[in-house]
Structure 1
Amino acid sequence: MAARQRAKQQRILLDAERERCDAEREQAAAGYFDLSDKRDVLREKIADVEVEMSLHVRTLLDLGEKLGRVAIFLDTTAEEVRRLRALGDARPSSGSVDSGSGPAA
């Protein structure tokens, strides 16, 4: 009977250790998912800001500034100006957005 009792105690110890490790794993995964969600929100905010930046780049280019001059003026690289210009070019114009309300009566 002592052997059986000893085996039971060992199982209880192992189960407790397993539960502790499982709880730590869950806590680590939850922390990761929380930060991943926050990162996704920040990426969306960055994307929104970059669209706004692209409008200002487009304005400078439309005013006749050369790409290299815009880069110098904005203290950035020509590659960044091109990227932002392309981002703005890929965005639908705000004048063509249909509100879905139909024609006015």
Structure 2
Amino acid sequence: MSDEGENREASERREHAALARLGATLERSEDGAAVDLDLSELEFERDDGPAVAAWVDHLRAIAQTHGRLRVHACPQMLAHTLYKVGILRGGRITLVAVREEEPYG
């Protein structure tokens, strides 16, 4: 398997793990309480536009359902996309911390 294929598989495993943690976090959350979401293990590859868009949709849906969402250790690419599409303006989604990631080589 090529390095690119291995990187893609590893990225998909991390994304599935992050989605599982997201589900567990939402199950524990109380109605009306802000949801704290740690994305420290979520990573995107340079060409992961569809995955980033899917996460934007996930976060938007959570904010609509739960009211407020605080995102910790947000990947830089996702944080930038959230900003560009205007989701951060309403205050329902707050970026507590954005990871500084190495530029692509």
What's the TM-score once normalised by structure 1's chain length?
Answer: 0.32
Q: Which of structures 1 and 2 has the bigger CA Rg? A: 1
Higher RCO, Cα 8 Å, sep 6+: 2
What's the TM-score once normalised by structure 2's chain length?
Answer: 0.32
Structure in which a larger fraction of residues adopt helix: 1
Structure in which a larger fraction of residues adopt strand: 2
